[in-house]
């Protein structure tokens, strides 16, 4: 059964969508079967994967409301990206309101993904930049939560609220939910504040902090406007190499966990 990872941070602009797209492509490049679920009404992960959000027959909205199965909504990412997408568009904005009067509203996504979980090695859920019902659905469906974050002044304050939400979801809906890891994005090692925040993260989260960091990179920023992961847009760029390194680190961690469990 595939691992389901919610890529989550209530703060916008920290690299959630960039991570969802490029980690999906990087793991697909290692011959893993990958599905990315776009759960953000902005549809940026959809567009960044080469799928036109304005030309969808069905979307993640239909999956959450139960009018379509996941199988009928999945489309392949554009080009040679190698992963599948459950796309999103502005229709998803209405889902949160409609879910409020729906039974088992927190677990709609978890139930929907059960039918395809065996087909994929990894399922990444790109969450919206808020702790709303869509994000709760992602956490209830997930095995783990990956937290992309910038090493800046307010990052730790927001991180505390996110960890509290993860703890509440674990207690109430999903006892097995864990933090997958913390990913430092747009990282500049010359910045003293970045290094100070890193030290605080290391002291609090220890090995949960990925050794891989994602640098600020022009090619990484350009790739979404071409509807491509950076691995397709410019595989030799620092951004592409960083996400390949992150995929490798994830795989090594998973293998180490399996060996430890034996």
Sheet with strand 209-215: strands edge to edge: 75-76, 84-86, 34-38, 122-126, 3-7, 144-150, 178-187, 209-215
Q: What is the pLDDT of residue 164?
A: 93
**Count of domains forming the chain:** 1
Has residue 236 got a pLDDT over 90?
A: yes
Q: Judge if pTM exceeds 0.85.
A: yes
Has residue 243 got a pLDDT over 90?
A: yes
Q: What is the pLDDT of residue 76?
A: 98
Q: What is the pLDDT of residue 171?
A: 97
pLDDT, one tens digit per residue, over 64-75 is: 999 999 999 999
Average pLDDT of every residue of the chain: 94
DSSP string, 222-256: HGGGGTS-HHHH-TTSHHHHHHHHHHHHHHHHHHH
Angle at 228 between CA 226 and CA 234, to 5 degrees: 95
Q: What is the pLDDT of residue 153?
A: 77
pLDDT, one tens digit per residue, over 70-89 is: 999 999 999 899 999 999 99
Mean pLDDT computed over 13-24: 96
Q: How confident is the model at residue 218 (pLDDT cuts 50, 70, 90)?
A: very high
At 122, phi and psi to the nearest 5? -140, 140
Residues with Cβ within 8 Å of 245's Cβ and at least 6 positions away in sequence, in order, are 212
Residue appearing with tokens 């799928």:
51
Q: What is the pLDDT of residue 152?
A: 84
Give the domain extent around 132.
3-261
Distance CA 183, CA 10 (A): 14
Residue 154 Cα distances to 14, 31, 169, 181, 232, angstroms: 12, 38, 23, 19, 33
Distance CA 157, CA 219 (A): 30
**CATH code of the domain containing 93:** 3.40.50.300
């Amino acid at each position: 059964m595939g691992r389901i990872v919610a890529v989550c941070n209530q703060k916008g602009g920290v690299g959630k969508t960039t991570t969802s797209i490029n980690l999906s492509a990087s793991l697909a490049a290692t011959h893993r079967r990958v599905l990315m679920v776009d759960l953000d009404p902005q549809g940026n992960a959809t567009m960044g994967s080469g799928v036109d959000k304005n030309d969808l027959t069905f979307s993640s909205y239909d999956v959450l409301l139960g009018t379509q199965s996941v199988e009928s909504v999945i489309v392949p990412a554009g080009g040679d990206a190698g992963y599948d997408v459950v796309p999103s568009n502005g229709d998803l904005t209405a889902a949160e309101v409609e879910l409020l009067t729906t039974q088992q509203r927190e677990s709609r996504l978890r139930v929907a993904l059960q039918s395809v979980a065996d087909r994929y090695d990894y399922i990444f859920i790109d969450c919206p930049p808020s702790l709303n019902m869509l994000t709760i659905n992602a956490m209830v469906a997930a095995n783990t939560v990956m937290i992309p974050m910038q090493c800046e002044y307010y990052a730790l304050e927001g991180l505390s609220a996110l960890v509290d939400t993860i703890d509440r979801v674990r207690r109430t809906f999903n006892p097995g939910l864990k933090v997958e890891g913390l990913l430092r994005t747009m990282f500049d090692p010359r910045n003293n504040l970045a290094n100070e925040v890193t030290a605080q993260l290391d002291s609090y989260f220890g090995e949960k902090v990925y050794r891989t960091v994602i640098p600020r990179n022009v090619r990484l920023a350009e790739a979404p406007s071409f509807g491509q992961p950076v691995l397709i847009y410019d595989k030799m760029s620092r951004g592409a190499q960083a996400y390949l390194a992150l995929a490798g680190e994830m795989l090594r961690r998973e293998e180490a966990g399996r060996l430890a469990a034996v």
